[in-house]
Chains A and B, each alone.
Chain A
Amino acid sequence: MKKYATFLWDCWRLSFVGDWRYHLWMTILTLLALTGLYAYCQQFVYGLVTTGMTDQVSWGLYIANFTYLVGLAAAAAMLVIPVYIYRNMHLHDVVIFGELLAVAVIIMCLLFVMADLGRPDRFMHLLWRFNFPISMLTWDVIALNGYLVLNLHICGYLIYCAYCGRKPSPKFYVPFVFVAIVWAVSIHTVTAFLYVGLGGRPFWNSAIIAPRFLASAFAAGPAFIILTLQIVRRVTSHQVSDDALLTLRRIVQVAMIINLFLLVCEVFTEFYTDSAHVASARYLYFGLHGRNALVPWIWTAVAMNVAATSLLVLPASRGLGVLNVACLLAIVAIWIEKGMGLIVPAFVPTPLGEVVEYFPTVHELAICVGIWAFGLLLYTIFVRISVPVLAGELTYEKRFGKPNEAVPGEGVRLP
């Protein structure tokens, strides 16, 4: 127990250690997170009137970001599957960064849900009267928190073992890794079912939403990890092979193609049928009754999706420069597609045919940026801690041997 407390204390202290670039980065993130906190406090005081949401468009950027991030979290499975199922060892050393990303991102998801609640002070009602299994939202609560716990356990166990200088025992984490794979698929499926099960919203009421969610998640998530790993290998001593990145590239490639294909299926069904159900899609792609706030966004997303997919299928994307551009395009395109392209248009027009557009407010944007900054802050700290610990540069032995020496331990050379 004392050992574990020392571990946590070392992690805490380690998160403050770094060169000026690290501190600059962390300071910027902190300031952004504080701005978000400031905007959230205003929202807490005045209510959700500080956001651009209305009775007509009752979900906005919070739920959009939430949906996107659930996908990002699920993408950790895309690193685990090749390693643990197909025994592809290129990715073996980087799996943990995917799982750590999942932890940070799920925390962001939970923050976005909290930000969206009208009565966050009544959050406890979820525990006292839980409408399970009828409400899909309760499934999502279980799925997300379960996934958080699973990944916290796996990462925490592996890092703690490294800290203690002993070999992790597979029976304490491998079963959880396999559960987490299934769980990763389930978090995104359940999140899709949140929307899909609503008969009153024809735009969502389509069986293809869940597969589309998964496809886009398995594109955006690994794309995000490709970029992250390159940063990790540049600023830390951790080795990430190009083979690992290229394995991920193949995943992104296939997922992007499937995602694009499913998008075409969706668009064809809507527009060729041309039934009354098409109103939301028409609003999204072409505007409705002269309202067209989302049109530039979605066409940007479509263009970026196509560009990213084209780049990825070209051999040129084996070069990291092109690959990075493709990944960035995919990440942004899917963020637009999932957020503005999936959540908002389902509310326009309303079930009674009224067209009221949604424009996020500055406060809402500040809260979103704040949560993103906080998530990146967490992830940076996770990476900051896990790299030296996993490399064996910081262990209990070294700490214990020189009790007076503050962190970093002898072995830790700051980047």
Chain B
Amino acid sequence: MSQEAQARAVGRTGLSVCISLLIFALILALNPLPFLSPVAEPAAVPAWATDPTPVRHPKLAPEYQAGVFTFRCSDCHKLFPPPAQNTTRTVAQHQEILLKHGINTWCLSCHHPDNRDAFVDDRGDEIPWNQPQLLCSKCHGPVYRDWQHGSHGRTNGYWDKTQGEQTRRKCIECHDPHQPPFPPMRPAPGPNTLRMGPQDVAGHGTTKNPLKTAGRAGSKSPPPGDAERGH
């Protein structure tokens, strides 16, 4: 190959390299791979999900609301004699109260027979209305002990009492005394993280768990001991 021809060859190669670079520059400038954000819209978080108030707001006073009127319990009950021991009867009043408190099926197990503005303790003495935990402690000894030490129940405010006020929630701020189990509630929205994809909720359970091997994988029937459930 002559030097001239070689130079031309080099020039041709160079030209094609330049042209391909320029074409490629044009392609890249047109943004051939635009970034499409995989970020999901944020889930709406209901206000109750961040509300720190307790599930119940009981009045810690022996008052009864009837329309616009507020009565002391004793206002009515002083008119009626206390029922005899061990008689259960349908009550005409307080129909909204559904008493489902285990083996405790009698109003006067808790309410003082003579003074309805108070509860009754084991000796028949009065427990003030604003100290319901003393009433509950009659039967629920271990829970009361845990509550006293703070391992049961809600403690809000300041962990460091020297810097601020601490609130110990009382039993009935979470438990309905007439239906004590903690009420079920709707769960707040679940996780929806980046690129999480659809989650197969039923996909779990390849476990050696004895509860799962009793032919109930995937079924919703409760294990023995868990009775029927309300919802």
Contacts and interface: CB of A to CB of B under 8 A. Distances in A.
Direct contact of A and B (CB under 8 A): yes
Given A20-B9, A49-B37, A49-B39, A27 B194 contact: no
A366 B34 CA distance: 13
Contact of B196 (A39, A56, A288, A353): A56
Nearest to B12: A20
Interface stretch (A116-124, A238-246, A356-364): A356-364
A236 to B, nearest CB: 18
Nearest to A21: B13
B203 A27 contact: no
B37 A289 contact: no
Contact of A362 (B20, B33, B203): B33
A30 interface: yes
A39 B197 contact: no
Interface string A345-362: 000000001011100001
Contacts of A54: 193-196
A357 B200 CA distance: 12
A233 interface: no
B204 interface: yes
Given A56-B196, A290-B200, A357-B197, A46 B35 contact: yes
Given A27-B17, A27-B20, A27-B21, A355 B203 contact: yes
B52 interface: no
A363 B28 contact: no
Interface residues of A, number: 28
Contacts of B20: 27, 31
A35 interface: yes
Contacts of B35: 42, 46, 50, 363
A31 B37 CA distance: 26
Listed residue (B14, B16, B17) with the most chain A CB atoms within 10 angstroms of its CB:
B17
A27 B21 CA distance: 8
Contacts of A234: none
A402 interface: no
Nearest to A41: B28
Nearest to A20: B13
Contacts of A288: 206
B203 A49 contact: no
Interface string B184-226: 0000000001111100100110100000000000000000000
A39 B17 contact: no
A215 B197 CA distance: 37
A52 interface: yes
Contacts of B159: none
A289 B196 contact: no
Interface string B4-28: 0000010001101100110010001
12 contacts: A20-B13, A23-B16, A27-B20, A31-B20, A34-B24, A49-B39, A50-B35, A54-B195, A289-B206, A353-B204, A356-B196, A363-B35
Given A49-B38, A289-B204, A362-B33, 18 more contacts: A19-B13, A23-B16, A27-B21, A31-B24, A34-B28, A39-B33, A49-B37, A54-B194, A55-B193, A55-B194, A56-B196, A289-B200, A289-B206, A290-B200, A290-B203, A356-B195, A357-B197, A363-B35
Interface of A: 19-20, 23, 27, 30-31, 34-35, 38-39, 42, 46, 49-50, 52, 54-56, 288-290, 353, 355-357, 362-363, 366
